[in-house]
Structure 1
Amino acid sequence: MLYLYAARNFSTLVGLACPDPLSNMYDAAYFRATWVLTALDAGFWTAMGIRNQKLRDLASVVFSLFYLIAAEQADEKVRKVRGNITVEHMRISWNKGSQSPYLRFAQRLMRPRLMKWPPREMRIARPPASDYKEPVSAWLYFNGPLSKLKDHNRFILDVPGGGFVAMNPRCNDDKLLAWATKTGLPVLSLDYKKAPEYPYPYALNECYDVYTMIIQTRGKCVGLSGEEVPKIVLTGDSAGGTLATSTTLMIIESGSSPVRRFQGQVDLPVPDGLILFYPALDMNIGSWMSDEQMALIKDRRMRGTNKRIVQRKKFQYDSLVGTPHASDDEDDVVPSSKSRSGPEREDSRVEGKSSEHVRDPAPEYANLGPTTPGASHRPEPMRTRLAMSSMISYFNDRVLTPEMMRAMIILYVGPHNRPDFSQDYLLSPILAPDVLLSRFPKTYFVTGERDPLVDDTIIFAGRLRRVKAAQLASGGTRLEYRDSDALTEGFDEKAVAEVALIPGISHGFVQFPTLYPPAWKLIDRAAGWAEELFAGAERREQERDLARRGLLGRRKRQGGNMDNGEDGENGDEDSPLEMMSIAKAKAKDAKKAAADMERKGTTGGEDIGALTGEGTDGHGQGTRAAYEDEDGDAGPYVAPQLETSSSREKKKAGKRVRTRDEDDKSLVKLASTDDLLGRRMHGLAGGLTGTHHDPV
């Protein structure tokens, strides 16, 4: 076999053959891993027609060894199958690691010793209010006996990937065993029902019901003590990342409502954090990207992370349409609709400005056409706001192809569902409204830079940052978007979302760390993120407890002062009824005292201010106080004022106070119901017809 291999690949071994184009696209270790995966897929697909199970398992390994040598035949076989792929092909390809006894044996030999306790299979009952009654299957990874579970009040809830049609938790043994060993925490991975037998939204409801059951039972359903509500970090990869994100949106939207409390259900707290590996967040596969999505990718704060992606998109698009290349720092200069003339450049030099600040971002042309009087001597390039999406840029991916994504979405949606791909944010979480994203927990993203789904990660992380920054800028009352390049004071983007783009790799690297060893570092890194999320949740809970204790101490002191006949310093926020009665008594006394003084002819603003407990403005003008008469009718009480000449002049010369709306006229406001995908065709046609208008 070595002789045959050397004879077939002599030119490659001696360096005379042209390299595979995809070998230059990927990292060497990742390309080597995809080479082995392609051979395994081709071998298992070739043997899938054999009926005898034992003979089929053996033939699959033999054929895979052959395809390792005949790499060109393996690529051709895989290309033909993916062109007309079925659910059986996908399940055989993605489940082979857990179903083939030979591959399981090889993985155990190559996998480092992680846990001495094997994973346990579990079944979790549905909550009483669920529409489904069948329990949910899951696997528990815990490095210890089940009796030690009572010592934990936090765990990791994992949702495995597999294109919604394949892969159970045992396909992710490497990742889950490593997390359970490194963190010492229980890791629960769901074995949700797969499409097409159980189409959307069955798997999503399973994830939501499991989370609800864990909160309602305080973790007793998974073996915890049940003394307190456990802290949960949600994780997911690929399709599992989609389900984890949609589950979080369901929890935010319906987990806390008066209807739930009326029905006797407990509120669902938002997860303490999310860790998503290359999630699929947009089920509407399109060729073009909207203006808003591209603006999120080109955000200044993420320029260091996304710079290579933006440069590659520019190069790909410019190569197609023949547009000259712009400078890499075009976003740093002031855009201009007209080219700067010579005198303007000279004036800028006189004023001491460097040419870097006044450089026109328009690309230079090597050959300029003839100039005519009254016309610009520099032709304008074709302007467009469109860019190719990563699904089209990496359509020839060795792991995830457009044909496979199309098949997975069709199978997941099912033959009877007719979802609205432009509005259903539980199907495509990238469309989630801003009001839900404003309550989203901190999220870590890990994805390959050459992944066809990399745009989903960047856009969703950009939306999270933008919504949180707008919420902070507006004081949490409403979402008002400022310029995407303007940094919000006091906003920490790392407290909202962190994105790790791994260069030179694509999809699915967490599933095969045995073939791609660098994935072990990413798995350990994710375990550290989970510990950070739990530590942050503990810190926030301690701060709330301290604040609650401080309020309780002030309330006790307030009660002691009132018993002694003294007025308290400040009202307690936790005792509104008590403070309301105090305010009513004070207002009633102040009203009576002011009426007596008015009858007696006393007009001293100082005395009235002292009796009403309010200050004066220095001219005898008292401030407003609330009162309630004996009949219970509330109304404003205005203390008698001594109107002097100085006060009248001050009234006339009073300055007009600017309102908040006038201060925020420069802000760009986007309706929270605006969806991203619904504006794609508008953005496509608007740039060509000149009818595009920015949303206000």
Structure 2
Amino acid sequence: MEYKALCFGFFCILFAYYVYIPIPENIEEYWKVRIIHAGMEIASLMATLFESMGLMKFEDIFVMIMALQNTMPVSDENITVIDTELSDIPVRLYLPKRNSERQRPAIIFIHGGTFTAGSFKMHCFDSLNRETANKLDVVVVAPDYRLAPQYPFPAALEDCISLVKFFLQEKVLAQYGVDPARICISGDSSGGALTAVVTQLLQDDPEYKNKIKAQILLYPALQAIDTLMPSYQEYEHGPFLSRKVAIMLSCLYLSDDKQLAKAILKNNHVPEESRHLLKFVNWSDFLPEKYKKNYVYTEPVLGKLKASYPALADSRVSPLLANDSQLQRLPSTYIVTCEHDILRDDGLIYVTRLRNAGVPVTHDHIEDGIHGAVSFATSPFYLQIGLRIKEKYIRWLEENL
């Protein structure tokens, strides 16, 4: 009993310490975000301690926390919700019940979670997909791809590509009453990365070219080349997603070698032979002046990491590495970036490059936004910024799909 009281007291002290760590003042619902940030900091500390003690791996804490948010497939008077498999990939389907005289659009939503955690079952994603299907009378398909580190690159991408290609078959589209001319792929965070890559690969495939009408990227992670862009430095400690946690988790998609994570944290992980790729992610060329502030571009240190990780230079990991001719073929795109987010500059650079390539792009930059905002648009937080992004997402689909 004394041990439990001691642990509880220590937790309270720790929480009080983290909840009073300053975060940017212009964030809406300041204290809610502070609590969210404190929770993430404590989770990161526990993950580090437990791994050093040999009790569990760093990523296990985050996998457990996200799994606590999983929901069952619950249908209602408007939507039939089914957990099933398409092309051997687990999916959750949202099928409108009301009669329709026309074929419906379809949205394939790819969830985020740093490639290591998360599921279509999470309450936040289930709520988003349910509301989208209900308000827009669309079919929504949400896949659960294989996760790292058990299944490293390219497993997640292979699953997403397999699912999308299977769904695009005429007989499958007909089965669900989907209009083949109105299909959108969307995703958030690492799911945004997978969305961008899948869309690029499909447009490069003669059999599937032009079969995707639109793509949506919500605060996407789009490159693994330069982890010291201005946003990575300015928001190194969050709020919510810190640079260390993002790198520690997402690099497991490439390798479980701890040396890789350490090198990426120092930004000296890029091989010398990949120098030619730096032009695609050079923030001094593509970042709007407003976001450069007083930061000075410094080229990532090349050739210091002796081990070979070919995926680092692969555009299937970093869709920002696609050349301009590849980008020119992409469909209408909607991108949401958040100001207080280490991944802000990934999205801003992609907006610039897509527009330079002639791609129709709608961009919403959320000045008081944080990474993962949509994940907090449901209980127990109900962040207004998350609700607003959800509304923008649904409105864009309604107007463009």
Q: 1:190 aligns with which of 143, 146, 152?
A: 143
2:213 maps to 1:272 = yes
CA drift at 1:230: 4.8
- Shift in CA distance, 200/143, structure 1 to aligned 2, threshold 3 Å: same
Pairing 1:451–2:341 present: yes
Q: Which has the larger radius of gyration?
A: 1
Structure 2 residue corresponding to 1:92, chosen from 47, 52, 64:
64
Identity of aligned residues (%): 23
Q: 1:117 to 1:163 in 2, by over 3 A?
A: same
* Mapped partners of 2:28, 2:105: distance in 1: 39
Equivalent position to 1:124, from 77, 86, 94 = 86
Which of 229, 235, 238 aligns to 1:394? It is 235
Measure the CA separation in 2 of the matches of 1:144 and 1:118: 7
Residues 379-418 of structure 1: pairs in structure 2 closer than 5 A? 388-415=229-256, 418=308
After superposition, the Cα gap between the structure-2 partners of 1:501 and 1:220, relative to the gap in structure 1 and judged at 3 Å, is closer
Of 385, 394, 397, the residue aligned with 1:527 is 394
Shift of 1:394: 0.5
Give the Cα–Cα distance (whole angstroms) in 2 for the partners of residues 437 and 501 of structure 1: 21
Which of the pair is proportionally richer in strand? 2
Query: Kindly tell me: are residues 418 and 232 of structure 1, through their superposed partners in 2, closer, same or farther at Cα, counting changes over 3 Å?
Result: farther
Q: For residue 229 of structure 1, give the secondary structure of its aligned residue in structure 2.
A: strand
Residue in structure 2 matching 1:512, options 345, 368, 376: 376
Tell me the amino acid that sits aligned with residue 161 of structure 2.
Answer: Y
Residue 271 to residue 173, structure 1, CA distance change in 2 (3 Å): same
1:496 aligns with 2:386: no
Structure 1 position 284, deviation (Å):
2.5
Aligned counterpart in structure 1 of residue 203 of structure 2, from 244, 252, 255 = 252
Q: 1:121 is matched by which residue type in structure 2?
A: D
Give the whole-Å Cα distance in 1 for the aligned partners of 2:234 and 2:312: 22
Which residue of 110, 135, 140 maps to 1:159?
Answer: 110
Offset from partner CA, 1:10-50 (integer Å, 9 cap, x none): xx9xxxxxx945344451415414504644x6xxxxxxxxx
1:268 CA displacement: 3.9
The answer (yes or no) to whether the contact 2:219–2:344 under 8 Å persists in 1 is: yes
Question: Which deviations, in whole Å up to 9, do the C-alpha atoms of 1:641-661 show, x marking residues without a partner?
Answer: xxxxxxxxxxxxxxxxxxxxx
Structure 2 residues not aligned, in runs of 5+: 1-8, 52-56, 258-306
Q: How does 1:290-369 map to 2 (within 5 A)?
A: none
Q: CA deviation digits over 1:237-271, x for unaligned, max 9?
A: 00100000000111122x10xxxxxxxxx444341
CA distance in structure 2 between the partners assigned to 1:390 and 1:247 by the alignment: 26
- Does the aligned pair in 2 maintain the 1:236–1:243 contact within 8 Å? yes
Q: Residue 32 of structure 1 corresponds to which residue in structure 2?
A: 32
1:283 to 216, 224, 238: 224
Give the conservation status (yes or no) of the 8 Å contact 1:232–1:271.
yes
How far is 1:93 from its partner?
A: 2.3
Query: Hey, what does 2:183 align to over in structure 1?
Result: 232
1:456 aligned counterpart, secondary structure: helix
**1:81 maps onto 2:44 in alignment:** no
TM-score, normalising length: structure 2: 0.73
> Does 1:439 find its partner at 2:329?
yes
Match of 1:22, as an amino acid? P
What TM-score do you get using the length of structure 1 for normalisation?
0.43
Label 1:502 to 1:237 Cα distance change in 2 as closer, same or farther (>3 A). same
1:165/1:412 contact within 8 Å kept:
yes
1:115 and 1:236 mapped to 2: Cα distance?
27
Question: Which amino acid is 1:224 matched to?
Answer: Y
> How far apart in 2 are the matches of 1:218 and 1:460?
35
**Aligned equivalents of 1:137 and 1:149: distance in 2?**
27
